[in-house]
A and B are shown apart, each in its own frame.
Chain A
Amino acid sequence: MTDTTILQKTPLHDAHVDFGGRMVDFSGWSLPISFAGITEEHRHTRNACSVFDVSHMGRLVLTGEDCESFLNRICTRNLMEAEVGRSYYSHICREDGGILDDVIVSRFEDRWGVVCNGANRQKIVGWLDQHREGTDVLLRDETTSTAMVAVQGPKTMELAAEITGQDLASMKRYRHVSYEFMGMKVTVYRCGYTGEDGVEVVIPAGIVKLLLPRLLGNPKKPHPIIKPAGLGARDTLRIEAAMPLYGHELSEDVDPLSAGQAWCVDLNKEFLGADAMRKKKAEGLLKQMTGLELDGRRIARQHQRVFVGANDVGEITSGTLSPTIGKSIAMAFVDVSCREEGTFVEVEISGKRVGARVVKMPFYTKPK
């Protein structure tokens, strides 16, 4: 490699290399894009169980008397009645409504946890620091002292109970539980970013090498069901599930309402960005996140333009050839007048117009 950038390594790095992971630079971290192949890993996650390293994501811990009111002012989600043992998806916005990040906020007995995007960690730490002045809130960054793995797929809960010896199946979605494992504290969240059932597990970095073989086996004798998966499959899985990705559907240039995430915004409370969002809502949104299904096999890429006749009505934020549905699907930020289901639009790909139809999101929902 002629690239001299020194990439950060997660506690799982050596295991990725041992399992034949194709390592890439992902916002400063060396992470696997794929192992057996993106499509194969995608299908395996939909049918069985995959392990994703998400240790690059920021793990922040907040303590102090004022955490609840502080986080409630920072987050779009109403956290005033947040319960211990539960996790909440939320956005953190600027005063003008621009999204700084999307996060999972969890309440514990003695603290709060915030999981943010890896690429936004410094920004969010800075934002929290700036706004906690004069409050009783302490902030600790546990990103590098811990590892985080997502275990996802329909066989996950059964296998997780087997491996951990814990009754995890009775835990509902967006709940978390902490327990002792090998004398260290492990926290299991029933969350994910694939559209499948599964868990995300935070463990001290020091026990990764002990715990990982229980999950994956070793390269010579891999686990028969649980397989490693990379960032490529994580992206195609989240697109099928129409889950937004920061830097694509979400950015500082868009507000949560336009991004189609109004469900995590409580305009009846006061928080940073609330006034700007109320104003936007009153004036009416101009563009909104929309699902498209394209003709043919070509993949629509971020920033490609969307047209209705001669009119440029918006742009693509993410697209893929869906392994599950077998069609080219995309998310796009388009004029609200063109969002009715079935509307015919065109996407300009490499100078050619490709026909597409507005469809409902998510593109994929897991079988009940």
Chain B
Amino acid sequence: MAQQGDAMTIPADRRYSETHEWFLVEGEVVTIGLTQHAADELTDITFVELPDEGAEFGVGDAIGEIESVKATSELFTAVAGTVVEVNTALADHPELVNDDAYDEGWLLRLKVDSAASLGSLMKSKEYGNFIGSQ
């Protein structure tokens, strides 16, 4: 029931991982966030641990942790790059991830040499089916 609502509002402009991160490519910068479905499943988010600017990550690396009243989960990147910006608003307002996971609740931005590794990730419709089948 809630999943249909989610599926209808999954933005078509980005790619989705099986670990529920989204990746939005704009030139050589990739913005990473958590999907609304994952934020809903986690319930009230209370803390987001993000890396420092300048930190470098490879494909599949853990880039941080997200914590809710219910549980703590790791965040992963599906693209290699260097952190150019983190969402500092989340330090005082981690609930932004619950309220607006696809926009104001973004997590961090990576500068990438190539976004090719994102080609194998799910598109919005596929991700909608993926969470519907879980």
- Tell me, rounded to whole Å, the shortest Cβ–Cβ distance linking A23 to chain B: 10
Q: Report the separation of the CA atoms of residues A258 and B48 in the bound assembly, to the nearest whole angstrom.
A: 35
Complex interface: chain B residues within 8 A of A39 (CB): 44, 69
Nearest-Cβ distance from residue A30 to partner chain B, whole angstroms: 14
Contacts of A297 in B (CB 8 A): 46-47, 94
Bound together, the chains give a CA A1 to CA B3 distance in angstroms of 11
Write out, one digit per residue, whether chain B residues 50-72 have a CB within 8 A of any chain A CB (1) or not (0).
00000000000000010101101
B133 within 8 A of A: yes
B43 touches A38 (CB 8 A): yes
Query: Quick check: is B2 within 8 A (CB to CB) of the other chain?
Result: yes
Q: What is the interface size of chain B, counting residues whose CB is below 8 A from a CB of the partner?
A: 17
Interface size on A, residues (CB 8 A): 20
Chain A CB within 10 Å, residue with most, of B65, B67, B70: B70
Please indicate the chain A residues that have their CB under 8 angstroms from the CB of B1 in the complex.
Answer: 17
Kindly state whether residue B134 has any CB partner on chain A within 8 Å.
Answer: yes
Nearest chain B residue, comparing its CB with the CB of A298: B47
- CB-CB under 8 A from B43, the residues of chain A are 22, 33-34, 37-38, 232
Q: Check if B133 sits within 8 Å of A299, measured CB to CB.
A: no
When the two chains form their complex, are residues B69 and A236 in contact, meaning their CB atoms are under 8 A apart?
yes
How far in angstroms is the closest Cβ of chain B from A323?
Answer: 9
Tell whether A13 is near chain B: CB-to-CB under 8 Å: no
What is the minimal beta-carbon distance from A338 to any residue of chain B, in angstroms? 25
Contacts of A301 in B (CB 8 A): 72
Nearest opposing residue in chain B for A296, CB measure: B47
A350 at the interface (CB under 8 A from B): yes
Q: A22-B2, A38-B44, A39-B44 are in contact. Are A299 and B134 (CB under 8 A)?
A: no
Expressed in whole angstroms, the Cα–Cα distance for A287 and B2 within the complex equals 45
Asked if A76 is at the interface (CB within 8 A of a chain B CB), the reply is no
Complex Cα spacing A321 to B70, Å:
10
User: Per a CB cutoff under 8 Å, which of B69, B133, B134 touches A321?
Assistant: B69
Q: Which residues between 316 and 355 of chain A lie within 8 Å of chain B, taking CB atoms? A: 320-321, 350
Specify which of A1, A22, A232 is in contact with B69 (CB 8 Å cutoff): A232
- B47 proximity list for chain A (CB < 8 A): 296-299, 321
Interface residues of chain B, those whose CB is within 8 Å of chain A, are 1-2, 40, 43-44, 46-47, 49, 65, 67, 69-70, 72, 94, 98, 133-134
> Can you list 15 A-B pairs, Cβ within 8 angstroms, ordered by A?
A2-B133, A22-B2, A33-B43, A33-B70, A37-B44, A38-B43, A38-B70, A296-B47, A299-B46, A299-B72, A320-B69, A321-B46, A321-B69, A350-B65, A350-B72
Question: Which residues in A have some Cβ–Cβ distance to B below 8 Å?
Answer: 1-2, 17, 20, 22, 33-34, 37-39, 232, 236, 296-299, 301, 320-321, 350
Q: 12 extra interchain contacts, Cβ-Cβ under 8 A, other than A22-B2, A301-B72?
A: A2-B134, A34-B43, A38-B43, A232-B43, A298-B47, A298-B67, A299-B67, A299-B69, A321-B46, A321-B47, A350-B49, A350-B72
